[in-house]
């Protein structure tokens, strides 16, 4: 009888060990090792001829370039994040928190992919439950097939019979293969199922979208090798109490990873947000202190966002610092620069910072807008009408140019802002829109007179 080989795998990171360990040496988690069958000996050993190379090494100059044909998924936001559409024969992994809308987005893509035959495989819901959700989603259903199954062999068998252009699997943690004797969702099952689906996608040219769960620290559940196997890793983010969702590309073998897609969760599904600036700006009846507008950029998409700040006297010995949607350490650094370079007594003040819309922003080009909001609240004076800021602050108090400053200026001008405060080190001869004044400053101590109505270059 063939000897069964077993090993222990960390359920958090996929580290393999010959015996059980209390603490994983790779990720440091405790009590995450589970025993799984690796192989059953000689009877399941693959033939020697399997996987033998049928080609020869070729010089890079002799390789013929091939243009990847992309599938239009019917969603401009998703197509942009993928780099223009889903590449034929690619394997895409979509991750996100429970209830964020992963299944809704996947089903909406399956229903709205006009002209594409799609097969939606669900291991978590019955066809009747999927039908209930499909009734409230936009898009037709003539080319979308629903299949409720968790056995990978049956899924591939049905896919070979249907020959879909797009195969959606919800989720990879519920799928299992009979070749591995472990429960669905284990490290071995996820690794084996992902490898078999990758082989099927590359062999048949079928595009596959996998939905994956995430752990409590925000990483995709399962072994890290899962993210190495797939071609594209997408992250669906958003606050469960907020209506807006952001789709980010963490990995893309066929395009860039700096693009984002913005969606709004509604009763009839996820609606695309073509202009994020409209949802991130608030119009007030009268000017208010502590509010500034900054021009941010995520990838090649610029948008304006409202920065709200509250500066008050510290009631206790240690002043409080709170930031929602912004790096708290960077806020402390900016406050230290304000105290050192401008002379504001921030050590006596509580400072609270918030971004409108519940967005989390890591763009350093918003430093100038954060400074403007804090200064406005400190003096309890509203900013002059029509001012937008875009710039990065250094520790010496210098104002550095923000990446893609020209695109930020155009976005601010398009939304009616007449004065844009940027760095004096920004040099660009590109033509500016009519009626727009660009105010250049080189140091942070030049910002207060500009935002309170001076309106001229302070070089």
CB 397 within 8 A of CB 286: no
Q: Is 177 annotated as a binding residue?
A: no
DSSP secondary structure letter of residue 61 = G
CB 194 within 8 A of CB 210: yes
Q: Is 103 annotated as a binding residue?
A: yes
Q: Is 431 annotated as a binding residue?
A: no
Q: Is 100 annotated as a binding residue?
A: yes
Residue that the structure tokens 């199954």 belong to: 149
CB atoms closer than 10 angstroms to residue 315:
8
Element (H, E) at 106: helix 102-112
| Helix (H/G/I), strand (E/B), else coil: 123 | coil
User: What are the angstrom distances between the C-alpha of 19 and each of 9, 184, 223, 270?
Assistant: 9, 22, 18, 47
Distance from C-alpha of 117 to C-alpha of 110, rounded to nearest angstrom:
8
Q: Is 423 annotated as a binding residue?
A: no
Name the region of 343 (left: φ>0; alpha: ψ -120 to 50; beta: rest): left
Q: Is 101 annotated as a binding residue?
A: yes
Distance from C-alpha of 8 to C-alpha of 14, rounded to nearest angstrom:
9
Element (H, E) at 189: helix 187-204
Q: Which of 289, 291, 363 is nearest to 327 (CA)?
A: 363
Residue that the structure tokens 């040496």 belong to: 25
Distance from C-alpha of 225 to C-alpha of 360, rounded to nearest angstrom:
28
User: What are the angstrom distances between the C-alpha of 216 and each of 96, 183, 213?
Assistant: 11, 21, 10
Q: Which residues are annotated as a binding site for ATP?
A: 96-103
Q: Which residues are annotated as a binding site?
A: 96-103
């Amino acid at each position: 009888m063939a000897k069964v080989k077993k090993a222990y795998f960390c359920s958090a990171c996929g580290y393999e060990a010959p015996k059980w360990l209390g603490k994983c040496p790779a990720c440091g988690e405790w009590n995450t090792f589970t025993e799984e069958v690796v192989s059953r000996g000689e009877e399941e050993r693959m033939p020697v001829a399997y996987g033998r190379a049928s080609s020869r090494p070729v010089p890079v100059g002799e390789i013929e370039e091939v243009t990847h044909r992309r599938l239009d998924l019917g969603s401009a936001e998703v197509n942009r994040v993928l780099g223009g559409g889903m590449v034929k024969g690619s394997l895409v992994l979509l991750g996100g928190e429970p209830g964020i809308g992963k299944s809704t987005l996947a089903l909406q893509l399956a229903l709205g992919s006009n002209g594409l035959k799609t097969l939606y495989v669900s291991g978590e819901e019955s066809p009747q439950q999927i039908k209930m959700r499909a009734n409230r989603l936009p898009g037709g259903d003539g080319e979308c097939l629903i299949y409720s199954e968790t056995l990978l062999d049956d899924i591939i068998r049905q896919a070979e019979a249907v020959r879909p252009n797009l195969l959606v699997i919800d989720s990879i943690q519920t799928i299992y293969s009979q070749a591995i004797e472990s429960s669905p969702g284990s490290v071995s099952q996820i690794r084996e199922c992902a490898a078999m689906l990758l082989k099927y996608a590359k062999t048949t040219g079928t595009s596959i979208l996998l939905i994956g769960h995430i752990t409590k620290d925000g990483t995709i559940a399962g072994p890290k090798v899962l993210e190495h196997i797939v071609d594209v890793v997408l992250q669906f983010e958003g606050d469960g109490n907020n209506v807006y969702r952001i789709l980010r590309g963490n990995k893309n073998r066929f395009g860039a990873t700096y693009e984002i897609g913005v969606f709004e969760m509604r009763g009839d599904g996820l609606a695309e947000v073509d202009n994020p600036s409209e949802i991130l700006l608030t119009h007030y009846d009268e000017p208010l202190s502590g509010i500034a507008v900054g021009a941010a950029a995520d990838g090649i998409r610029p948008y304006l966002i409202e920065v709200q700040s509250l500066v008050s006297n510290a009631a206790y010995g240690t002043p409080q610092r709170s930031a929602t949607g912004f790096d708290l350490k960077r806020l402390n650094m900016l406050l230290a620069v304000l105290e050192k370079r401008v002379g504001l007594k921030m050590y006596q003040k509580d400072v609270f910072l918030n971004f409108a819309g519940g967005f989390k922003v890591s763009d350093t080009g918003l430093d100038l807008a954060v400074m403007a909001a804090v200064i406005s609240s400190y003096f309890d004076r509203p900013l002059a009408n029509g001012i937008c800021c875009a710039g990065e602050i250094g520790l010496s108090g210098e104002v550095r140019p923000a990446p893609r400053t020209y695109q930020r200026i155009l976005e601010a001008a398009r939304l009616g802002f007449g004065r844009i405060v940027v760095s004096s080190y920004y040099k660009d001869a590109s033509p500016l829109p009519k009626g727009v004044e660009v105010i250049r400053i080189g140091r942070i101590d030049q910002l207060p007179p500009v935002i309170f109505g001076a309106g001229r270059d302070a070089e």
